[in-house]
Amino acid sequence: MPTRLIGTIPSTFVGLDLETTGLNSGSDRIIEFAAIKFTIGKQNHTSISSLVKPGVPIPRRITTLTGITDKMVEQDGVEIGPAMRDLKEFIGNHMIVAFNAKFDIPFLNSEFSRNGIGKIDNVVDCALLTARKAWPELDSHKLSYLSELLGFDVSGNHRALKDAGLAIKVYLYASCAIHERTKGR
């Protein structure tokens, strides 16, 4: 997975988040995705998000964490193949920012592969790693903790669209903090 060096942020990039049935990209499945096409200087940003029919039951611990139920994905979810094709088209060739890219990108690549879509070859940057570099002294680097620390509303987190937006904000603040600290060197 290509990564981006901190220092330059493209004027447009895509913030991405996934909710899944578990932690293993080989055996677990995506149940919700969201991507926000963020353009620096714009007030409104386009997004794509959807619940996805995973084809497997959602474990109780995941429902407790996300609020997403089997009934919700059966009633409102879309089939994974068309959803992943739409997502890949939305992302295009833009850089991807995910809060924990080591988690999200393997899930995307697994679903893309299962559906004959190929793999992600975009530049990927990780908001979590950027935050750890910006603020190494913090006791926690969880998305909700960082978001609250920066003054962002975290109600509704652990849902893909909310977390994609928070990841973008944390990423931008962390990138600026790194830039400010290193510009005098």
6 is a domain residue: no
Count the domains in the chain: 1
The answer, yes or no, to whether residue 59 has pLDDT greater than 50, is yes
Whether residue 122 contacts residue 93, with contact meaning beta carbons closer than 8 Å, is answered with yes
161 is a domain residue: yes
158 in active site: yes
171 is a domain residue: yes
What's this model's pTM, rounded to 2 decimal places? 0.92
pLDDT over 70, % of the chain: 95
Distances (CA, A) of 74 to 19, 58, 79, 169: 15, 11, 10, 32
80 half-sphere exposure, CB direction, 13 A CA radius: 21
Determine the Cα–Cα distance for residues 21 and 23; give it in Å rounded to an integer: 7
Residue 50 CB coordination number (10 Å): 20
Range of the domain at 151: 12-182
pLDDT bracket for residue 181 (50, 70, 90):
confident
7 is a domain residue: no
pLDDT bracket for residue 4 (50, 70, 90):
very low
pLDDT at 113: 94
Residue 24 CB coordination number (10 Å): 12
1 is a domain residue: no
Average pLDDT over residues 91-106: 97
Whether residue 66 contacts residue 19, with contact meaning beta carbons closer than 8 Å, is answered with yes
Average pLDDT over residues 68-78: 97
Pick from 136, 121, 123, 134: which is nearest to 175 by CA?
Answer: 134
The answer, yes or no, to whether residue 180 has pLDDT greater than 90, is no
CATH number at residue 120: 3.30.420.10
Q: Which of 94, 141, 158, 179 is catalytic?
A: 158
Whether residue 3 contacts residue 126, with contact meaning beta carbons closer than 8 Å, is answered with yes
148 is a domain residue: yes
Average pLDDT over residues 53-72: 96
4 is a domain residue: no
Q: What is the pLDDT of residues 129-149, one digit of tens each?
A: 999 999 999 999 999 999 999
Average pLDDT over residues 58-68: 96
5 is a domain residue: no
pLDDT at 184: 58
